[in-house]
Amino acid sequence: MEHMNEEGFAEERKEEIPETIKQMGGLDDEIRIYVEDYVYTYLYQYGRSMGATEKIAALVGRYMEINGELICVVSGAIQGRKTIQSGGVESFCDETWEDIYDQMDTYFVGQELLGWVHIQNGFGSYLMTKDETFHLANFKEKWNLFYVLDVVDHVDTFYVQNQTTKTLRQARGYFVYYDKNEEMQNYMMENPLMKPKIAMEDMEMYPSEEEEEEPAFAPRESIPPAEMERMDAAKKIRAVLQRREVKAKKQKRNRYATMATFSCVLSAISLCLGLSLVNYMGKLRDLEGEITVVQSAYSTMETRLEEKLAEVQTQAVFSVETESFSEILTETESKEKVKEAVGVWHMIASGDSLTRLSEQYYGNGNWVDDIMEVNDLDNPDMIFAGQEIWIP
């Protein structure tokens, strides 16, 4: 690190600070970061290439300290090739670093490795813990930079070391400067990228048929800054990003308006449903009361029917028992009367049977058992002709 103690030397180093610049964001109190326009443009194109996948890159340039103020000038960007997947993210490996240093020796002679870039499309420019750990382990100088880029959401942020807490903090802003930068031009021509797939109605950043003969990265001549900014592709990209940002904000407002309208409709529907529910609850309570009355009446009726049924059953049983007793009494009295009237000896003739004799003397066949009992017979069929039996 060079410390500027002599005013003359400091003034001489000030001449190395870019003058044709455009401020991006605010002014940082501890460090000033200058990014050459070709580098800025190339990184955005790099981020959109190969389907806008995750990528890493290296930043090269120079740094200086003037009157206690740290200045970093980024004049080159090198693709991170031959990378590996570590923990699901793109990571540097030994072959990646060897390739980066080979590219520095070829295109960026005498420049320093200032830091690195993580292109994480769709995730914004937030600082990931893994990136911070990697940076602090491999880039230990206070002038080392970490640049996070998301070309999908069109956001980018520089992170620098917080010397007090030994962590990374977000730089408040940076400058884009315009220079001839032949080193970066040569690198871009030798390492071309596919044109980003951006709708032509969104921007016209590619040359028309009359302009196609011009090279993609023509060397800048000494031209006025205003004309240079008009022609530079980076300015067109920034204009597109601004238009897209306005469009995104408009779409966001429209979504909010749609959600608000939808919420109002849902609220109205909920209110109507609530009122209907209250009405239905009242009707339900009335119906519940009517059902309770009906259940009470049914219970009373059921009790009465059970009592009446028990009473009827009692009367029926009593009536049956009375009739049975009367029949038994009548039959007994009839037998007694028959017994009193009958009492003779009978000679068994061929064809007689106890049943026939009972019918002959008593008028029915119910006296067989009595005849057998009086004559000490075990079997009603064990009688024979010439036998005398007593008819009681």
Specify if 373 maps to a domain: yes
**What is the percentage of the chain residues whose pLDDT exceeds 90?**
35
- Is residue 28 within 8 Å of residue 173, measured between CB atoms? yes
156 close to 77: Cβ distance less than 8 angstroms: no
pLDDT(233) > 90: no
Stated pTM of the model: 0.50
Strand 69-79 to 31-36 pairing: parallel
Q: What does the pLDDT look like over 272-328, one tens digit per residue? A: 888 888 888 888 888 888 888 888 888 888 888 888 888 888 877 766 666 666 666
Mean pLDDT of the chain: 81
Residue 262 placed within a domain: no
Cβ proximity of 148 and 125 under 8 Å: yes
Q: Higher pLDDT residue, 39 or 240?
A: 39
CATH of the domain at 106: 3.40.140.10
Residue keyed to tokens 């991006």? 24
Query: Is residue 374 a contact partner of residue 364, using CB atoms and an 8 Å limit?
Result: no
Predicted local distance difference test score (pLDDT) of residue 4: 41
Tell me whether residue 239 is in a domain. no
How many residues are recorded in the chain? 392
Taking a C-beta distance cutoff of 8 angstroms, is the pair 193, 46 a contact?
yes
Q: What is the mean pLDDT of residues 1-25?
A: 64
Instruction: Give, to the nearest 10 degrees, the angle between helix 94-107 and helix 182-190.
Output: 130
- 304 falls within a domain: no
Q: Which residue has the tokens 């990374």?
A: 168
Structural domain for 378, as ranges: 342-391
Last residue of a domain, one of 180, 200, 220: 200
Residue 321, in any domain of the structure: no
For residues 138 and 162, what is the distance between their CA atoms, to the nearest angstrom?
15
| pLDDT-above-70 percentage for the chain | 78
Question: Which of 147, 174, 200 marks a domain boundary?
Answer: 200
Is the model's pLDDT at 46 over the cut of 90? yes
From 138, 171, 200, give the residue that closes a domain.
200
Asked if residue 211 belongs to a domain, the reply is: no
- Residue 127's pLDDT is 93
What is the rounded CA–CA span in Å between residue 141 and residue 2?
Answer: 13
pLDDT at 162 over 80: yes
Q: Residue 197: pLDDT above 80? A: no
Q: How far is CA 255 from CA 97, 248, 261, 262, in A?
A: 46, 10, 10, 10
Count of domains for the chain: 2
CATH code of residue 357? 3.10.350.10
Backbone angles phi, psi at 74, to 5 degrees: -90, 110
User: Residue 246 is which amino acid?
Assistant: V
Flag whether 223 is in a domain: no
Dist CA 11 CA 158 (whole Å): 27
**Domain presence at residue 89:** yes
- pLDDT number for residue 324: 66
